[in-house]
Amino acid sequence: MDESGDDARWRRFAMTSAQRRLLWFLVLVAWTAIVLAAWQFWQTFAPPRFPRVELKPHGAYDAVEEVTGPVSVRLRSAREICLAGVSEPQEAAARDRAVVFLRNLLPCGAEVYVELEAHAPDGDTAPPLATVYLPPKGAARTGSFPYAEAQLVARILVQEGLVRTCADRPYRYRAEFLLLEDDARRHGRGLWASPPP
């Protein structure tokens, strides 16, 4: 067999490095197009995916009729509620301080946004638990409630050290309340203030 003929034949099919790079690029483009087409085809038959939404309880605007305790409020809708996520202090003086603070925070007629919690309080006669927000000044009642600008009443009480976080009942803000309670304890606010000498 003539080796020079074989060499000539191979030289005819020999590629330069630029041609080899171009060939690999075209192969890569072709495979990418095939994968994308298969993905698109599969997506048309796949079930739809929806973004995960954290649902909040349905709330409603109401007005404060009277503060009835350190963590309880009577509303104009003739309903008495307890603030969710917190428990009232045991000492009488601490309870009185919390009531005075809450009356200043929620004077009679103050507009609030109330979300009843799913967890029932202990006992049949106890008022329902609710998350109570102070809406921002001038907030419109139409559309979604502006959670980012509103103040959570129980959060303020915990931050000031006037009430304790309720540790025996699940609550969506419990982790945040525990951090705020720890901060109040470390800075000696409210229940953790050092007694006068």
- What are the per-10-residue average pLDDT scores of the chain (197 residues)? 59 74 91 90 69 65 93 91 92 93 94 85 74 88 84 95 89 91 92 74
Q: Where are the domains of the chain?
A: 3-45, 59-192
Residue 10: predicted pLDDT: 58
Q: Which of 144, 166, 139, 146 is nearest to 154 (CA)?
A: 166
pLDDT number for residue 132: 94
Fold of the domain built from segment(s) 59-192: OB fold (Dihydrolipoamide Acetyltransferase, E2P) (2.40.50)
* CA–CA dist 113, 115 (Å, integer): 7
Q: Which residue has the tokens 């004077």?
A: 107
Reported pTM: 0.68
